[in-house]
Structure 1
Amino acid sequence: DAKCAILLIKKKLFIYTQDLGINHYFFDFINRFILTAN
């Protein structure tokens, strides 16, 4: 369940960053932060 929630959050963050026009490096940074947090 935790992994599902994380995947959902990551997907939402990705869509959110795309909407704001923020580049993929920012998403990559968040993604790495999530990975290291676990």
Structure 2
Amino acid sequence: VMIALDEAAKEGKIKNGDIVVLTSFGAGLTYGTIVLKW
């Protein structure tokens, strides 16, 4: 997730003031989600 976020920021796909939703899934039905204002 963090590598994808870094690449998106470097490519200009994320700009100041954008709302970013990050979701990640793991083993055993473990998951996490966060909403960020960039």
What TM-score, normalized by structure 2, do the two folds share?
A: 0.37
Q: Which has the higher contact order (CA 8 A, sep 6+)?
A: 2
**Structure with max Cα Rg:** 2
What TM-score, normalized by structure 1, do the two folds share?
A: 0.37
Higher-strand-fraction structure: 2
